[in-house]
Structure 1
Amino acid sequence: MIRLIFALLLLPLLAGAAPAPRDWSKAVTRSADGAYVIGNPAARVKLVEYLSYTCPHCARYAQASTPTLRDTFIRSGSTRVELRHATRDRLDLAATVIARCTGPAGFAATSERIFATQEDWYERGTRFEQPNAARMALYPQGAKLRALAYGAGLAEIGKARGLSDAALTACFDDTAALLQIARMSDASWKAIAAASAPQPGGTPTFVVNGKAYATLDWAGLEKILRAAGAR
């Protein structure tokens, strides 16, 4: 009898011990062509973002979208985002290498930090690049980008995410990775042009469940995502 009473008392406690829902914002993979994919692979809403780290519109979008897109839509499993680089200049490429150097586990947070501090490192990088352009022109591509990343303060962002000087050097010297970024960027700009025609395209450009949208801010995109099933 005592055992039966104890079991009956325990049942409500066991029933309330349901496992916590999975946080899909921690699920990050890299596609075969190098794009980073964040969220539930089976998500109802599939968002593609073409981004540039030196694009001020992208920085404003990142700041406005993160609280809802990452912490609600992606976290819940209703939405998946695929991030594709559309590099615009050398500083953008240097920032791209830093973000990707942190790998799947650190990519999203590093990207957010790069966008959050864009004004600072972009100004520093521009000031550094102008007087040092002739000297850096003599460097190999990887060394040139690495010097620019250090001069702009981008390397500091990578180090704050746990990257050592040796790790940063290895990422900038990885010619295969640089070629992959170049190929992705070329494909991205072609996709952006197609989405924006007949107007010239820019970043950020979005694709939601196969349909492209250009010149959208977060408020406009949020409505589209919610209509598609983002929760």
Structure 2
Amino acid sequence: MKSFALIAALLFAAAPATLPAAPAKKPAAVPARDWLKVINRTPAGAFVIGNPAAKVKLVEYLSLTCSHCAHFAAEGYPALEANYIRPGLVSLEVRHAVRDGFDMAASILARCGAPGAYLGAVSTAFAKQDKWLGRAQAFSAANQDKLEKMNENEVFPAIAAGVGLDKLFAARGLTPARQKVCLTSVAEVKTLTASADEAWQKRQIPGTPAFYINGTHVAGSPEWAVLEPALKAALR
């Protein structure tokens, strides 16, 4: 039987002189900022989504009763948000070119929550546009006389309830009390009226949606297939 001293000698002889150094840990990657979560309201009442220092500044004039705007939102917003706004390449400023009372009521409610909820509220209004706007003609025909006799604090709450906008935005967490505050806000109506005047009278946009990149109108059909190449060109 080998002695304990000999066994110990063999064990130590077989062991490496030094233990291998532990592999160096890679520094934790700093997550990129999600600029899609940065939403601010301008003094004029527009909403700017994304990096305020982005090289490309996109302005969209929209109307929530515009079917072409709803089509663009479904077709273009996902790629615009994921590929251009989120990484900070493009900022999007949304300006409301209000066209009618239903548009006004929907716009007020879309803007009623916290700024961070704004883009989701607009997208929801467009996604459900066929339902609430589909009720507008019948509601207007049945209530025209009543609406004309209402004061300004009653008109937009009545429209919102009459076409189902109240329920649509309640599902997004906008309480009835908060909706009433917004829908009866004279200041907000004035802001949206001024925004519409800037769009239709001063800027004289050709229709909605209308897009401007760094101040220059994007000509052609207002579709993602036309807008994206213009964005890429501006980013070069």
TM-score w.r.t. structure 2 length?
0.87
2:78 counterpart (35, 59, 67): 67
Does the CA-based 8 Å contact 1:28-1:37 persist in structure 2?
A: yes
Aligned to 2:213: 208
Number of the residue aligned with 1:110: 121
2:109, 2:179 within 8 Å by CA — same for their partners in 1?
Answer: yes
Count of equivalent residues: 219
Q: How well do the aligned residues superpose, as a CA RMSD in angstroms?
A: 1.9
Q: Give the corresponding residue for 1:228.
A: 234
Question: For the Cα contact (< 8 Å) 1:62–1:115, is it kept in 2?
Answer: yes
Counterpart Cα distance in 2 of 1:132 and 1:176? 25
In the alignment, the residues of structure 2 paired with residue 190 and residue 63 of structure 1 have an alpha-carbon distance, to the nearest angstrom, of 28
Contact 1:53 1:92 in 2 (8 A): yes
Residue 4 to residue 113, structure 1, CA distance change in 2 (3 Å): same
Query: 1:161 Cα deviation (Å)?
Result: 1.6
Q: How far has the Cα of 1:129 moved from its partner? A: 1.9
8 Å Cα contact 2:84/2:90 also seen in 1? yes
User: C-alpha displacement at 1:101, in angstroms?
Assistant: 0.5
Cα distance in structure 2, aligned partners of 1:27 and 1:179: 26
1:212 CA displacement = 1.0
What is the alpha-carbon distance in structure 2 between the residues aligned to residue 27 and residue 146 of structure 1?
30
In structure 2, distance between residues paired with 1:156 and 1:3: 68
Q: For residues 160 and 72 of structure 1, what CA distance do their matches in structure 2 show?
A: 29
SS in 2 for 1:207: strand
- CA contact under 8 A between 1:106 and 1:161: conserved in structure 2? no
Q: Which has the larger radius of gyration?
A: 2
Which of 134, 138, 143 in structure 1 is aligned with 2:145?
A: 134
Q: What SS does structure 1 have at the residue aligned with 2:86? A: helix
What letter matches 1:177 in structure 2?
E
Separation of aligned partners in 1, 2:141 and 2:19? 80
* AA at the equivalent of 1:24: W
**Residue 90 (structure 2) aligned to one of 75, 79, 99:** 79
Kindly indicate which of the two structures has a greater share of residues assigned to helix. 1
Counterpart of 2:197 in structure 1 is: 186
- Tell me how far apart the structure 1 counterparts of residues 59 and 117 of structure 2 sit (CA, whole Å): 19
Q: Deviations over 1:7-34 (max 9, x none)?
A: x53x33x42x112111100100000110
- Identical positions, percent: 38
TM-score (norm 1): 0.89
Residue type matched to 2:191 in 1? Q
Q: Is there any run of 5+ residues in structure 2 with no aligned partner, and where?
A: 1-17
Query: What is the one-letter code of the residue matched to 2:160?
Result: A
Tell me, yes or no, if the aligned pair for 1:102 and 1:158 is still in contact at 8 Å.
Answer: no
The letter of the residue matching 1:218 is W
Deviation string for 1:45-96 (max 9, x for gaps)? 1000000011111111111111110122100100000000001111111110
Residue 136 of structure 1 contacts residue 144 of structure 1 at CA under 8 Å; is this kept in 2? yes
2:149 paired with 1:144:
no
Give 1:190 deviation, angstroms: 2.7
In structure 1, list runs of 5 or more residues that go unmatched: 196-200
What does residue 98 of structure 1 align with? 109
Instruction: Give SS of 2:166's match.
Output: helix
**Which residue matches 1:158?**
169
